[in-house]
Amino acid sequence: MRKQIGDCAIELIQGDITQQDTEAIVNAANKTLLGGGGVDGAIHRAGGPAILEECRKLGGCETGDAKITTGGNLKAKWVIHAVGPVYRDGKHGEPELLASCYRRSLEIALENGIKSIAFPAISCGAYRYPVEEAAQIAISTVADFVRNRDGIQLVRFVLFDNKTFYAYTAAFEALE
Contact 83, 29 (CB under 8 A): yes
Cβ neighbours of residue 99 closer than 8 Å, sequence gap 6 or more: 137, 141
Q: Which is nearer to ligand ADP, 47 or 125 (CB)?
A: 125
Torsion sign, CA atoms 47, 24, 176, 135: positive
Q: Which is nearer to ligand ADP, 16 or 21 (CB)?
A: 16
Least distance from C-beta 162 to ligand ADP, angstroms?
A: 10
Q: Which is nearer to ligand ADP, 85 or 147 (CB)?
A: 85
Of 40, 43, 70, nearest in space to 54 by CA: 70
Q: Which is nearer to ligand ADP, 40 or 65 (CB)?
A: 40
Which residues of this chain interact with ligand ADP, rule CB under 6 A?
16-18, 28, 38-40, 42, 84, 120-127, 158, 160-161, 164
SS3 136: helix
Q: How many CB atoms lie within 10 A of CB 77?
A: 15
| Residues designated as active site | 40
Cβ neighbours of residue 33 closer than 8 Å, sequence gap 6 or more: 55, 56, 58, 60, 61, 67, 81, 83
